Amino acid sequence: MAVLHHPDTDQLDLVHVLAALGHPVRLAVVRALATGEETYCGELVPDLPRSSLTHHWRALRESGVIRQRPEGRRLYLTLRRADLDARFPGLLDLVLAQPD
């Protein structure tokens, strides 16, 4: 598996983070990860094709919203809440509090 790029906290860009959070599927993923638990990516959105999921995971990872950890053939996801809160205080609280 290729090395996955995760931007450093100081490289997080508000425009990219908001763009990643602006898609309903990605927002649902972030809400599911808000518990703080690391989750196998196949459990989050089982109804979408793998190619669509790959696109969403990449958008979230490259924007700095999530961290992906490969283990064998699986990818595990965690929300980078501490990094996002450090860079953009209160942003996740606002986003997660909004109704669908």
Q: Are 41 and 74 in contact (CB under 8 A)?
A: yes
Query: CATH number for the 9-97 domain, one of 1.10.10.10, 3.10.180.10, 3.30.750.24, 3.50.50.100?
Result: 1.10.10.10
DSSP per residue over 14-73, as a string?
HHHHHHHHTSHHHHHHHHHHTT---EEGGGT-TTS-HHHHHHHHHHHHHHTSEEEEEETT
Measure the CA–CA gap between 89 and 39, rounded to whole angstroms: 24
Domain boundaries, the chain: 9-97
List CB contacts of 51: < 8 A, sequence separation 6 or more: none
Model pLDDT for residues 7-45, shown as the tens digit of each residue:
999 999 999 999 999 999 999 999 999 999 999 988 887
Q: What is the pLDDT of residues 74-87, one digit of tens each?
A: 889 999 999 999 99
How far, rounded to the nearest angstrom, does the alpha carbon of residue 74 sit from its chain's CA centroid?
16
Predicted model pTM: 0.89
